Amino acid sequence: MDKNSFDAALRPGVRAALAPSNSALRRAEDETFRRLLDEDGQFLPGASFARDCPYCHTASATASLVLQAYGMHLMRCADCGLVYSREVINRAFEQQRYQASQAADANMALKIDPHYAALEQDKARYVMARLGSLAGTGSVLDIGSSTGALLQAAEAAGWTARGVEINPAAVAHCRQQQLQAVCGEYPCALSADWGPFDAVLMLDVLEHLPDPLAFLARVSADMQPGGWLVIQVPNFRSLLLTIEGGRNNNICHGHWSYFEEQTLPGLMRKAGFEMRFFETYISELDRILAYPDEVIATAWQQLTGQVLEQPRQLTVEHVHQAMLGYKLFGIFQKVAA
């Protein structure tokens, strides 16, 4: 099990090969975001609603502003410390954004790019190996199954795998590979004879949810006692995101909660899950080292409290030891009420 196997920073030529697809996605997303904003960069009337902290429900009026981007005010809760967008776009637009939009089409084009698909396949094998080391095999549901890399890896590892995905093109791609996936939103798209599941996979899902605790409660209801929940989310405390701030592509519409090393396990405990494995992966070291030494050193000291004497000697291992990788990855177990 080697998490460096799917780190693009360690695979020569991958960045250049993916540059056209990534650039097309960024342009499409930027255009999609700006359609909802007025000339001052604020949401158009009726396009969004305001909320309080989705973790502890403390009023947003008491939170501190972290940054502003695309009409969103990212707030840090004064009570639990979660960073979240005070504004969330309305449900109708959110559905359209994932089902039929230029951004959705550009995202799909990236997902089926052979270079990106190879990274995802390696990551899927790693994820299922990590899960298998704790849980063995059984039935697994992939929420947001995309083009099916996890479903394929799960089946190869001996699991009975099913997926639910909102993007019709991604579901069609799964079915072409003879993978079991349905088109729609969880939980309404699930077949009546599916579940309860021994494990549920939620990679890059939790950050999209306006009410993550309510969603996790429903997921728990569809799981066996002692079932396993696999979570991947962007790491708001990652070194690259800290350097780039609001320019980072994880700061975007659709990402409503921004998790860190402390707040993700805390939210999961509140939802009735205990952490069994936790790390960061995907270093983005090459993107980090594209910045000047003083920028890297300042961000490192901000995050760790330590002086980074020689930024050019920073390694992938240093990044992950400090929990500053681009993604948080955790395996959690459902506990008795």
How much is the pLDDT for 97? 58
Residue 130: per-residue pLDDT = 98
Q: pTM (2 decimals)? A: 0.94
**Other Cβ atoms closer than 10 A to 67:** 14
The pLDDT of residue 26: 87
CA angle in degrees (0–180, nearest 5) for 92-187-174: 90
Region 267-275: mean pLDDT is: 98
Q: Is the pLDDT of residue 157 over 90?
A: yes
Q: What mean pLDDT comes out for the span 235-258?
A: 96
Number of H helices, E strands in the chain: 12, 13
Mapped onto helix, strand or coil, the DSSP state of residue 67 is strand
pLDDT of residue 58: 98
Q: Which range (26-30, 162-166, 217-221) has the least confidence? A: 26-30
Q: What's the CA gap between 51 and 60, in Å, rounded? A: 7
Whether a cis peptide bond, with omega within 30° of 0, leads into 12 is no
% the chain with pLDDT above 70:
97
The better pLDDT of the pair 189, 248 is held by 248
Name the residue range of residue 21's domain.
3-334
332, 268 Cβ separation under 8 angstroms? yes
Q: pLDDT averaged over the chain? A: 94
- Please, which pLDDT band fits residue 99 given cuts at 50, 70 and 90? low
Average pLDDT over residues 161-190: 92
CATH number at residue 17: 3.40.50.150
104: Cα separation from own chain's centroid: 16
Least-confidence region, from 89-98, 244-253, 259-268: 89-98
Q: How many domains is the chain partitioned into structurally? A: 1
Inter-axis angle of helices 212-221 and 263-270, nearest 10: 50
